[in-house]
Amino acid sequence: MSGAGQPLHSFAAILAWLAQQQQQQTQTVTQIPLAELDQWQMGGDPLRLAHRSGRFFTIEGLHVETDAGPTPVWDQPIIHQPEIGVLGIITSVFDGVRHYLMQAKIEPGNINGVQVSPTVQATFSNYSRVHQGAATTFLEYFVEPGPAQILIDHLQGEQGSRFLRKRNRNMVVALDADLARRLPMPDRFCWMTLHQIKALLRHDNVVNMDARSVLACIPTGYGQGHLESAAPHDFSFFDDSIPPAAHSPQPRGRHASRHTTDEIIHWLTDLRSRYHLHLAPRPLDGLDLWQFDGQSIHHTSGNIFSVIAVAVATHTREVQRWTQPLLQHPGHGLNGFLMQRIDGVVHLLVRACIYPGNREIFELGSTVSRSDVELHFGRPDAPRYLDLFRRPPPAWIHYAAVQSEEGGRFYHYQNHYMILELPPDMQLDPSPIHRWMSLAQLQDFVRHGYVNIEGRNLLACLDLAAPRGGEHGLH
């Protein structure tokens, strides 16, 4: 029962543990020319960058044509990683309080080295030990659950702008307290409550992208006020770490959501049927407006990501030395949700997003998501609603922090994450690719794989029990 006991660790102790892990887990990351990659080679027809084992991932060239959006034709590199990895969190209840087993994990592309990660974060190549490294700790509870109860098991996509139809298995499994207390516990692991993880998410670059992706699959409902009556599942057991004061009565009105779920599905299906997305392979040395100079593969504008190579040395990973390609991004991007209480019900303004790597032509995402955001503020052709995030009134700011994207594939890629709560009476100009969805609806669409990584990662940061306001904005 919620609030029956105390967390295993205080929040101050968790911060101290994380600081200690930052000191203990060290790595050296050095950029090298692409030609100096070990165990990687350019080859194939069309030309691509691949590991000699044929595993892990490849960097390939792509030609894109679409009749949706402002850019009808472009070329780009893209990561092709068809194998499905595991992103999994173990949960257990100690003294009436639900906890989640999180890991302090270092990645070569992390801007600050160690970040809080899921219990298990491993590609199939990693956990099948293609690299001949050490076994992945606690993996057995996800691939052969045995005594673990599977609570969540979803296939979820990654960035469709950077990955070609990439998916991971997002899982939460439960162990009974006696077994959980007997787990051999390396010092890089720590039990936390959901309330504590949400508090960590208010810090810059602390909780990594993979953890956020799994956390978004936990459909917590605390503090929502009215939920739509159609919410089909009771996930209240996930809320054990939330203090009772955070809960409020949940009247279930007949018209709780601005649009019914059937209306949302019809809108998305209509977009998927009306527009096309055509992809064709291209050689990496033949991409229009991209330069391949041996050091990197980069866009001539300098405003888009580049493909670089790094050499990594660390003593805390399954393998201690390796080289690999990474995608490097200039500056900070923006990932933002507009939120509003419509007739007392929490709604988020969701966008139908089209990216070349989507498994479906359109997926649901955050209101605004741009990696090159500074180029668009104040322009007449800026994405719809973008300028609301530039200098928002402090009273609107429900959440604002800088978060890192996948450090295993991206080098120092950060986005400003923002959730702005608009006044209830504020009206927005309509948009054909945006729809208001209640929080309950959006959580259910996550469960069915409709919501992209940008939307899920920002949804994980939503904390309706936390105070609002702050001195944040983009300048």
**Boundaries of every domain in the chain:** 254-276+332-461
Q: Provide the token pair at 32.
A: 């090298």
- With tokens 């092709």, the residue in question is 80
- pLDDT for residue 316: 76
**Could you tell me how far CA 333 lies from the centroid of its own chain?**
14
Radius of gyration of the chain (CA): 22
Res 374: pLDDT: 87
Rounded to whole angstroms, how far apart are CA atoms 309 and 49?
11
Strands 48-51 and 40-43: antiparallel
Contact 217, 233 (CB under 8 A): no
| Four-way CATH pick for 254-276+332-461: 3.20.19.10, 1.10.645.10, 3.10.50.40, 3.90.79.40 | 3.90.79.40
**Angle subtended by helix axes 261-274 and 439-447, to nearest 10:** 60
Return the closest-CA partner of residue 396 out of 415, 418, 366, 429. Answer: 418
Whether the upstream peptide bond of residue 46 has omega within 30° of 0, thus cis, is yes
Number of other residues whose CB lies within 10 A of the CB of residue 154 = 20
Q: In the structure encoding, which two tokens stand for residue 475, read together?
A: 């300048």
Measured in degrees and rounded to the nearest 5, phi and psi for residue 7 equal -60, 155
- Nearest residue to 211 (alpha-carbon basis) of 468, 457, 469, 42: 457
Contact indicator for 157, 166 with CB cutoff of 8 Å = yes
What pLDDT was estimated at residue 135?
Answer: 83
Look up tokens 């799994």; give the residue.
214
Q: What are the average pLDDT values for consecutive 10-residue runs of the chain, which has 475 residues?
A: 74 98 96 95 96 93 96 97 95 96 97 96 70 78 93 96 96 97 96 96 98 93 35 42 38 68 97 97 97 93 96 85 95 96 95 97 97 89 94 97 96 97 96 96 95 98 74 45
Residue 251 confidence (pLDDT): 40
What does the pLDDT read at residue 4?
A: 61
Helix ranges, 216-349 (H): 261-274
Can you give the pLDDT at residue 241?
40
The predicted structure's pLDDT at residue 128: 60
Q: Are 438 and 345 in contact (CB under 8 A)?
A: yes
Residues 156, 158, 159, 165, Cα dihedral to 10°: -80
Could you give the 3-state DSSP secondary structure of residue 190? strand
Residue 416: strand pairing partners: 334, 402
With tokens 């209240």, the residue in question is: 236
- As a whole number of angstroms, the distance between CA 140 and CA 90 comes to 11
Q: How far is CA 39 from CA 34, 50, 55, 325, 408, in A?
A: 11, 9, 11, 11, 17
d(CA 335, CA 72): 23
H helix or E strand, kind and range, residue 198: helix 194-200
CA distance 46 to 380: 39
SS3 28: strand
Q: For residue 163, which phi and psi values (nearest 5 degrees)? A: -115, 145
Residue ranges in 372-451 assigned as alpha helix (H): 439-447
The pLDDT value recorded for residue 168 is 96
The three-state secondary structure class of 65 is: strand
The alpha carbon torsion through 104, 106, 111, 115 (nearest 10 deg) reads -10
Type of residue found at 252: R
Query: Which residue blocks in 312-452 are alpha helix, DSSP H?
Result: 439-447
Number of alpha carbons in the 13 Å side-chain half-sphere of residue 310: 22
Residue 221 confidence (pLDDT): 61
**pLDDT for res 331:** 86
Q: pLDDT by residue (tens digit) across 412-444?
A: 999 999 999 999 999 999 999 999 999 999 999
